[in-house]
Amino acid sequence: MTHPAPSRRHTIADDLRSQISTGRLKAGERLPSEAQLSARYKVSTPTLRNALALLQGEGLVEKIHGSGNFVRHPLRRITYADGGWMLEAQSPTEEALRVTVRTANLQAHGHLTVLLKVSPRSPLTEFLCLSHEGRSPHSLARIYVPRDLTPADIPERLLAARLAVLSPPLAEVQERVSARLPTPDEATALRISSTLAVLSITRVATDPTGRVVEAALLVLPADRADAVFTTRYTTGAMGAER
């Protein structure tokens, strides 16, 4: 059986992938310009960009607007479990993950009124959290809290703390996990290909009175994220309990 010859974009991607894996192109190194690569491989710019998109989708290359394409540093994987996330163990040479938080006051509208079960124009606070590992964006979260519950100060690791300063205590946390393509804004913020799937997690926390006290929208790129769900059973007089 005769197999079709690989396309030019796959041939180019294979060559660049080999250079990255063998260390000829090192992590953090800037690739030649798209014009130079197009001339080197004797292809059109669209074909070259399609080849780079394959590597971007694999997490090997990232495109920084205005600077060019760079070999991506290997990013530690995120495991999302039990309402929070944690990273792979950090080696002594790895930089600590840092989180930048941008705060904005806004009024509830559209899907936010449904998520938080509030009336349109209800006052909310938005925490836009972007984590970085070294120079590379790692994950993205938008957290919405009713204005009267907004903490006076923002914890350094807002996501890890899961807004533990909120009061009253939580009675229920509902999470919805889906896989989808990133929005253009998400792809730009995370410097990922628009063809790379992301884990989209919607987390809604409710207090004992039924009031929603937090709605979090997490976006974790699929090239570095796993979602783990564990069910524990105990056997007693009432039978199996989840």
Cα–Cα distance for residue pair 69/29, rounded to 1 Å? 9
DSSP 16-35: HHHHHHTTSS-TTPBPPPHH
Question: In this structure, is residue 236 part of a structural domain?
Answer: no
Mean pLDDT taken over the chain: 82
Q: Is residue 233 part of a domain?
A: no
pLDDT at 31: 94
Claim to verify: residue 153 and residue 215 sit in the same structural domain: yes
Provide the edge-to-edge strand list for the sheet that holds 172-180: 98-107, 123-133, 136-146, 212-221, 198-206, 172-180
**What's the mean pLDDT in 125-131?**
90
Is 18 in the same domain as 83? no
Q: Kindly state whether residues 106 and 203 are assigned to the same domain.
A: yes
- Same domain? For 22 and 118 the reply is no
Please give the DSSP secondary-structure letter assigned to residue 157. T
Q: Give me the sheet containing 225-228, strands edge to edge.
A: 84-87, 78-81, 225-228
- Write the CB contacts of 24 (distance below 8 Å, at least 6 apart in sequence): none
Q: Domain for residue 1, yes or no?
A: no
- pTM for this entry: 0.71
In this prediction, residue 109 has a pLDDT band, given cuts at 50, 70 and 90, of very high
Amino acid 152: pLDDT: 65
Could you tell me which residue, 147 or 229, shows the higher pLDDT?
147
Do 182 and 95 share a structural domain? Answer: yes
Q: What pLDDT does residue 96 have?
A: 67
| Assigned domain for 217 exists | yes
Residues 64 and 83 both lie in one domain: no
Based on the domain organization, do 62 and 139 belong to the same domain? no
What is residue 51's predicted lDDT score, i.e. its pLDDT?
A: 92
CATH number at residue 193: 3.40.1410.10
What sign does the CA torsion over 83, 157, 56, 187 have? positive
Per residue in 148-198, pLDDT tens? 988 666 554 444 444 444 455 778 889 899 999 999 999 889 888 888 889
Is 49 domain-assigned?
Answer: yes
When divided into structural domains, the chain yields a total of 2
Residue 152 has which token pair? 């006076």
Residue 240 within any structural domain of the chain? no
| Mean of pLDDT values over 9-34 | 92
Would you state the pLDDT for residue 145?
92
Burial of 127 (0-12, 13-18, 19+ CB in 10 A): buried
Range of the domain at 15: 8-71
**How large is the average pLDDT for residues 118-127?**
95
Residue 77 has pLDDT above 60, yes or no: yes
